[in-house]
Amino acid sequence: MIASKFEAREDRPQLQFRHFGWHRVAGWWPPVCAWLLYILHASLYRNWLVDDAGISFAYARNLAAGFGLVSQSGVPPVEGFSNPAWTFGLALAELFGCFDPVWTPKLISIALILCAFLSLHGLIRYMLSENAPVFSFAVLACCSANPSFVIWTTSGLENPLYATLICSLLFLCVLASEEETPSSLAIMAGALSALITLTRPDGVVYSVLFPAALLFGPACSLRIRSQQFSAYLFPLSMLVGAYLWFRTTYFGEWLPNTYYAKPGSNAYRIVEEGAFGILRTLADLLANSAFPVGSDVALLVLAGFPLLMLGRSRLVEAKSLAIIFFFIAAGLAAYEVLPRDWMGEYRFATPLFPLLYLFVFMVLAALFRVWFAGGDFIHKALPASVVLVFLSGASGNFVFRIDRFLAAPTVPIEDVAKNYADRFNAYAEFLGLEEASLGAPDIGGALMYSRLRIVDLAGLCDRRIGRLIHRDKTALRRYLLEEARPTFIHVHGPWAIAFDLYADPGFSEQYMIIDEEAGPSVSGVRQIRAGSYVRKDALSQAALYRVSRLSQLKIEAARTLYPRHPRNVTGI
């Protein structure tokens, strides 16, 4: 038998001001200390932001400036982002004149992570009557030390908002499964679910979890249950429905353009691999969460939880663990459906890390109660020892991954700004081109700082390219060379392969080489690893002569020609 205070509902901490009041400051040291650790860890990455964040920045800046929800002023509206809630939040910061391309997203992220930590800490205090501070610090410190979590929540993307909203919804779901649910709580949950869906499209999977939590809750009449469901569905349907109406009216599409531009979903993999594929992903995430003995911990998580459920299903903690388990299952399903991300460090799994840490340590707390039913020293010393052993064992894995990322950070927006915005700004100035355009696959930094019209070769901000790039390469090249006709073209790596420019005979006739790294020919067609080109008919005779000197221009010279100002609005 398990001696637990959870068996008596009246002995559990209640969600009252006196319990969570600020007069008990000492009880809140875990989130504060873990948050400071998070800030220290985040400082290692300095001003790094991933280039894709610049796309949201550009949309937010143009919206605040009155040009509309567009990537550049004067271009047709294309929904080249999939994070409207994050983009609108940045637009508000820009509107109030407090947007800095580096500091604003970093500070917003830090504030959001504090909110996430407070939500998780409050949930752990609600679930545990003993050792709550120890286990809370374990969960939050692991999040703060995990490179995947910190890297992507400080990347400038929507990850910190996404993780914070999910942690907050989890807290409300646990409350709904244990307490009488007032309409106000259901309305808050509906609003959170809507914001999660509007932060990432795959976040829609979390919208079914609050209704499921209500079914776990105390029995009530059909009328009251209907009121709870209605209170939840009203803000969810209103907010999501309003944005869908706006999307179809403004962009003319039911889905964002990113859906078409990126590779298709991997839903077939769930059908083919079933539970084994999801369990393999879970084991992979656990190993990368730096559990010292990944397979053993995975076994503990997978076996310990059902044992708790079957052995003492009346435990309040078992019901809460079931809710956390459902959140993890929903997150894993969404992660499996999404196409594999080339950026590394599990960008799409950001909210799963706090959920996994929370679940594992809550299972450990329950198992300690089973294995060590007596002894105050055991109850206090053993959990603290386990936490210390875990954190020390995880440090080696974390340090290695931090060093690896610092040596080669994922597509920094600053590098894209130098290589594409500054460089091609200088080319246009050198060639005397007053109006010019640039086709490039990395466009975040270019949208922020380029004076040229940007043609997105990745297709996120270009409707035609987004629909052709993974479907019809011949039509893709025809559109690029005959309709888009950018003044400059730059391709590299997989984008050079995707466009295969020399497969179209008209390319050599229309464009001159600025610089090029050639590869081996295939079937008589010239292949390139990287290359920059300029359209011949855009140049005067004098400019044609100058093309041979373009490679002499350096990025430093481009900086002198075009000093950046973050508040300049992109557009010609």
High-pLDDT (> 70) share of the chain, %? 77
**Mean pLDDT to the nearest integer, 233-250:** 96
Residues 6+ apart with CB under 8 A from 368: 379, 382, 383
Cα 518 from chain centroid (whole Å)? 35
Task: Specify the pLDDT at position 411.
Answer: 93
Q: What predicted TM-score, i.e. pTM, was given to this entire model?
A: 0.87
- Strand 525-535's sheet: what is its strand order? 453-456, 437-440, 488-492, 525-535, 511-522
Task: Please check the confidence at residue 244 and state whether its pLDDT lies above 50.
Answer: yes
Task: Specify the pLDDT at position 334.
Answer: 87
Task: Specify the pLDDT at position 224.
Answer: 83
Task: Please check the confidence at residue 364 and state whether its pLDDT lies above 90.
Answer: no
Task: Please check the confidence at residue 541 and state whether its pLDDT lies above 90.
Answer: no
Nearest to 176 by CA among 117, 207, 218, 224: 218
Instruction: Classify 542 as helix, strand or coil.
Output: helix
Task: Please check the confidence at residue 467 and state whether its pLDDT lies above 70.
Answer: yes
Instruction: Classify 517 as helix, strand or coil.
Output: strand
Instruction: Write out the E strands in 275-355.
Output: none
Per the model's pLDDT, the better-predicted residue between 390 and 527 turns out to be 527
Reported confidence tier of residue 414, pLDDT bands at 50, 70, 90: very high
**Among 9-23, 125-139, 192-206, 489-503, which range has the highest average pLDDT?**
192-206
Instruction: Write out the E strands in 6-92.
Output: none
Please, which residues bridge with residue 179 across strands? none
Reported confidence tier of residue 264, pLDDT bands at 50, 70, 90: low
High-pLDDT (> 90) share of the chain, %? 50
- Per residue in 434-443, pLDDT (tens digit) is 889 999 999 9
- Per residue in 512-531, pLDDT (tens digit) is 888 888 877 776 677 888 99
Cα 8 from chain centroid (whole Å)? 40
**Mean pLDDT to the nearest integer, 109-126:** 96
Per the model's pLDDT, the better-predicted residue between 240 and 14 turns out to be 240
Domain boundaries, the chain: 25-49+102-407, 413-561
